[in-house]
Amino acid sequence: MKTRFAPSPTGHLHIGGARTAIFAWLQAKANNGKFLLRFEDTDKERSKKEYVDSIINSLKWLGIEPDEKPLFQSDRINRHKEIALDLHKKGLAYSCNVSSERLEEVRKIQQQNKQQPRYDGFSRDLNLPHEEGNVLRFKMPLDGITSFEDKILKKISINNKELDDFIILRSDGSPTYNFCAAIDDLDMQITNVIRGDDHLTNTLKQINILKAMNSELPEYAHLPMVLSSSGKRLSKREGALDILEYKKMGYLKEAMVNYLIKLGWSFKEQEIFSESDLIEHFDIKNVNSSAAKFSQELLDFYNNHYLKESNLEELFVYINGNFSLSEKFMRNDKKFEIVDLMREGSKNISNLVDELTFFYEDPDISDELMKNIQIDKSLLDSFKEELKEVDFKDKLLIGVFIDSFLTKNNMKFPLLGKPLRLILTGKSNAPSISDLLYLIGKESCINRIDNYLNS
RNA sequence: GUCCCCUUCGUCUAGCGGUUAGGACACCGGGUUUUCAUCUCGGCAACAGGGGUUCGAUCCCCCUAGGGGACGCCA
């Protein structure tokens, strides 16, 4: 089995493209096959080297590496031209010199007549010699139906009347996408084509090219689209980010892959999949046939999961390498324990790093929060004095001290805990008090309480 | 507009003619020797509508509605 991912380098890789790549890659890996990468860069205006690099880097981040050197469609123009001309020679394509003005006119009339706008076959039987300035059009069958068995969507068929004689060679002699894609898949011996279902009609056209060449058809699987959370097509405006932006925000690749693969695919009731789980269980036939909306909450859930699951040392090195922790924090001898604690409730790494500040810097307590601190200052003062005597070597002893202090003063925990959390961290959302006291350290804690008492 | 595809809890999904329609996220509530969060236990919540076929339809067929896609000398 051989699969491929064939992006056009006209933009960064976003969620939808990344998902397609993962599916194609997994389909190959799950079947001991090869996964190839092909850049469809026949649009010279919009294709950029910058995007080629960005796409390769994105795939690399996700752990996807092609099994052969990436192929560039633009390197194969001569081959495409040659075949196009050959089709012409065999009478399977024809030269056409209809002006774009007339094409537009025809489309307008068709629309008015509630017909599908399409080329009307004006030059089909003119037998024009192919000369500079003309386009070459493919002769689509005039009747019958084109159909195929999609691995995900099942039977797809269309009346050939709906398909028009599309251009395979432009008037400047350059080959077009649908033609190149069909030829390349053939030459690369791709056995399984996996792409978004926005390619459905392209597939129908490409099948006819392949049929005209008496070639065998690959198997096709069309993935339903990923829509934005509001159900619209993913676009910049609809929140389609460069996949590497997620890396920058502190999403782990394991989380991204797990989320993306679960967006449409399922295996029993399992939610968490390692790479080897995926390779073992992935089967394209278990992909859902309907479109899915992007969900930030679910991505966050997976990210939090992998943040908690990953090896602490490795995670720490990764965080420091990509998010450069502050000097002060790196000098803290409890830094590993702090990260270990703080990853429990973190959605992503940049968020986690932000939450680290109060462990090495006295917090600024906003006036808003200050108002929420309600505690008897003399009580807090005696708490502080007794705290000075507590052994901070052991977290458990701190817990024991808090318990006894509460009992002695006959008070409920929240009465002490809530204001103390604010004083210590400047936040109302933070880990348990004994964890905080222990990890912030005795000296800083006492300092912060003093600061409050003196304010 | 024409053609194609899709339609199960708010979201991601399981189901493949007979199920109390299952799981996960989110949300809500209880518990964790009293804590916002974590953890844990529990709860809420769905077969788009209408016709068939069938002893029986979430599941098969048709229609309607809604959503998405394609309709380029872009890919």
Domain A2-69+226-300: give its CATH superfamily.
Answer: HUPs (3.40.50.620)
Please, are residues A199 and A181 in contact by the beta-carbon 8 Å criterion?
no
Structure pTM? 0.94
pLDDT, tens digit, 9 for 90 and up, residues A151-169: 999 999 999 999 999 999 9
Angle, helices A413-425 vs A395-408, to 10°: value is 130
Please, are residues A217 and A210 in contact by the beta-carbon 8 Å criterion?
yes
Rounded CA-CA distance A296/A45 in Å is: 34
Nearest of A275, A29, A57, A44 to residue A173 by alpha carbon: A44
**Residue A251 burial by CB count (10 A; 0-12/13-18/19+): exposed, middle or buried?**
buried
pLDDT, residue A372, reads 76
Give A220-289 as a 3 state SS string.
EEEECCEECCCCCECCCCCCCCEHHHHHHHCCCHHHHHHHHHHCCECCCCCCCCCHHHHHHHCCHHHECC
pLDDT, residue A115, reads 86
Question: Looking at this predicted complex, what is its ipTM?
Answer: 0.94
Report residues of chain A scoring pLDDT below 50.
none
pLDDT, residue A427, reads 85
Sign of CA dihedral A304, A308, A310, A315: positive
Phi first, then psi: give them for residue A430, nearest 5 degrees: -160, 170
Nearest nucleotide by C1' position to the A179 CA atom: B75
**Cα maximum dimension of chain A:** 103
**What is the CA angle A77-A82-A83, rounded to 5?**
100
**Number of residues written out for chain A:** 455
**Structural domain spans, chain A:** 2-69+226-300, 73-223, 312-453
Which of the four CATH numbers 3.40.50.2300, 3.40.1160.10, 3.40.718.10, 3.40.50.620 does domain A73-223 have?
Answer: 3.40.50.620
Please, are residues A321 and A349 in contact by the beta-carbon 8 Å criterion?
no
- Strand B atom within 7 Å of A344 CB: yes
Nearest nucleotide by C1' position to the A157 CA atom: B4
Common-topology check for domains A73-223 and A312-453: no
CATH number assigned to the domain covering A312-453:
1.10.10.350
Rounded CA-CA distance A337/A321 in Å is: 18
- Strand B atom within 7 Å of A224 CB: yes
- Strand B atom within 7 Å of A170 CB: yes
Strand B, nucleotides < 7 Å from a protein CB: these are: 1-8, 10-14, 22-26, 33-39, 67-75
pLDDT, residue A376, reads 87
- Strand B atom within 7 Å of A374 CB: no
A 25-84 residues, CB < 7 A, strand B: 40-43, 46, 73
pLDDT, residue A68, reads 97
Please, are residues A416 and A432 in contact by the beta-carbon 8 Å criterion?
no
